Homo-oligomer: A and B are copies of this chain.
């Protein structure tokens, strides 16, 4: 067995696990944003025909999973594993979707880092020879997240300008040991970093240090050149967190400014759509990747991409107990060349 570790934190795939398809479903507001043409399905009703927003979110992730499998010309029964999770307590949306899809299920939780977490695990499981097809995906819904983490929607509460807007959306990718599509080459898994921010309305600042730690570790391990990437996309630090990440990485000798974006900024027209610092939620980096970035990779308009999904691991209970916000970020490097 060949050891696949590079440096302290990064692993290199040996067998070119391939993202053979990707699919995305978004809500009405996201369907009015700049990426609207990249999504497979834009809902006109954020209840998606269900009785509750939680069941609607579950149906969204179920649909995104089914669409990815169908686009690859595969059947659900061909899929060996599903990695899924979301922001909602006990992963209600993912668990209920896994019941309907009847695929062996690994529940994962990384808050808004869940998309990259699932892709890291799927890539390793496929690269290691344990699966012929591994599905991963995640979702968020403005209405489920808002009432679980903040206030009842009926309250019409105002938000501070540092806050972000939870994306209503679900994205998924299907990974196979071979086939057409971009390959996952490197994975750098995040440590939980907490620099003492305790303001749940300033998640960008809370999560930036985790993104910095993971991105720095990748470049430190591989000596790769930031400018060899077409895009490095964090998700979802928003306007403020993106600036912090760019600045502090520059201080540590890594200049990603020419290729750097954040999924939270890509998703919305910030001022027109009144989303303050940008999009957030598991579904944000999931749909920006599965919609926009995957499309560019498939068309070879992008040939090298780093997705760094970032998550804030706070809970309403930890906030009430006056704890600070632990955060995590996982990086996946995806290439067309070779």
Count of chain A residues near B, Cβ 8 A:
65
Residues of A1-46 at the interface with B, using a CB-CB cut-off of 8 Å, are 1-5, 9, 11, 14-15
Which single member of B5, B54, B92, B177 contacts A1 (CB below 8 Å)?
Answer: B177
Binary B-proximity of A112-125 (CB < 8 A = 1, otherwise 0): 00000100110011
A85 proximity list for chain B (CB < 8 A) = 107, 109
Q: Is A194 an interface position by the 8 A CB rule?
A: yes
B124 touches A326 (CB 8 A): no
- Evaluate whether A90 and B318 lie within 8 angstroms (CB atoms) in the complex, with A14-B1, A98-B326, A129-B128 already known: yes
A129 touches B2 (CB 8 A): yes
B9 touches A189 (CB 8 A): no
A317 proximity list for chain B (CB < 8 A) = 54, 88-89, 92, 148
| Chain B: CB-nearest residue to A97 | B192
Which single member of B89, B107, B148 contacts A117 (CB below 8 Å)?
Answer: B107
A326 proximity list for chain B (CB < 8 A) = 95-96, 98-99
Cα-based distance from A105 to B328 in the complex (angstroms): 8
Residues of A77-110 at the interface with B, using a CB-CB cut-off of 8 Å, are 80-81, 85, 87-92, 95-96, 98-99, 102-110
A54 proximity list for chain B (CB < 8 A) = 317-318, 321
- Evaluate whether A190 and B130 lie within 8 angstroms (CB atoms) in the complex, with A95-B326, A125-B124 already known: no
Cα-based distance from A194 to B99 in the complex (angstroms): 7
Distance in Å: Cβ of A196 to nearest Cβ of chain B: 11
A96 proximity list for chain B (CB < 8 A) = 318, 323, 326
Which single member of B92, B189, B318 contacts A92 (CB below 8 Å)?
Answer: B318
B132 touches A3 (CB 8 A): yes
A81 touches B318 (CB 8 A): no
- Evaluate whether A129 and B1 lie within 8 angstroms (CB atoms) in the complex, with A104-B191, A105-B328, A191-B105 already known: yes
Which single member of B130, B313, B316 contacts A5 (CB below 8 Å)?
Answer: B130
Distance in Å: Cβ of A118 to nearest Cβ of chain B: 10
Extra inter-chain contacts (8) besides given A96-B326, A121-B121, A127-B128, CB under 8 Å = A1-B128, A2-B129, A3-B129, A54-B317, A87-B90, A88-B317, A95-B313, A106-B121
